[in-house]
Chains A and B, each alone.
Chain A
Amino acid sequence: EDQVTQSPEALRLQEGESSSLNCSYTVSGLRGLFWYRQDPGKGPEFLFTLYSAGEEKEKERLKATLTKKESFLHITAPKPEDSATYLCAVQAVRYKLSFGAGTTVTVRA
């Protein structure tokens, strides 16, 4: 069974204080790893898809990286508007995503 573990559960940052979120996974054959951002009471918003170890993707202050066992979401110089829950999901079988529990990030001004 696919396993996805995100850490930490919660992260409190000062504005401008860079940090990283971890997503470790166990799957038999990775088709893709997905990062989403979710604001309270809303649906997940797609951020990145990573397909193979060594791949990196960037969007504004966010950068996602992938190894064979884990993915990191780096937040550089965060702003209060980066406060959200960040979800990681893996796909080993077509159509099926296995989600982690998420990391809730709070950025204080």
Chain B
Amino acid sequence: DVKVTQSSRYLVKRTGEKVFLECVQDMDHENMFWYRQDPGLGLRLIYFSYDVKMKEKGDIPEGYSVSREKKERFSLILESASTNQTSMYLCASSSLLKGTDTQYFGPGTRLTVL
């Protein structure tokens, strides 16, 4: 079974803090993704990575950066957290090399910025 884990289920931060969200997958997938999910707006892609040290902007990259130093780990960084970044953050991974491009999601991190 594909396993995607995220470092925290719930996180509370102050405005202006630097925030790190970590994601780890154990299926040797080459692709990893960060989404945020908000009521009424659905899932929106922030960044994705198709290989180590490679990254691409998604639909809403402003205010975020990412890091992928190892194949199994993908980090989302909020350089200076703001209240409008309060959201559910979801990590996913996929591999076309393994036959399908299906994205498998982690449990999510509920981030609250005060």
Contact = CB atoms under 8 A, between A and B. Distances in A.
Contacts of A97: 43, 45, 103
Given A91-B101, A95-B31, A43 B107 contact: yes
A95 B48 CA distance: 8
A43 B48 contact: no
Contact of B108 (A41, A91, A99): A41
B96 interface: yes
The bracket for how many chain B residues form the interface is 20 to 34
- Which among A32, A34, A43, A91 has the greatest number of chain B C-beta atoms within 10 A? A43
Nearest to A96: B45
Nearest to B31: A95
Given A34-B103, A96-B45, 13 more contacts: A36-B105, A42-B107, A43-B4, A43-B107, A43-B108, A49-B100, A49-B102, A89-B43, A91-B101, A94-B101, A99-B43, A100-B42, A101-B40
Interface of A: 31-32, 34, 36, 41-46, 49, 87, 89, 91, 94-97, 99-102
Contacts of A32: 100-102
Interface string B48-61: 10100000101000
B25 to A, nearest CB: 12
Given A95-B56, A100-B42, A43 B106 contact: yes
Interface string B86-114: 00001000001000111111111010000
B15 to A, nearest CB: 24
B42 A43 contact: no
A4 to B, nearest CB: 9
Contacts of B58: 96
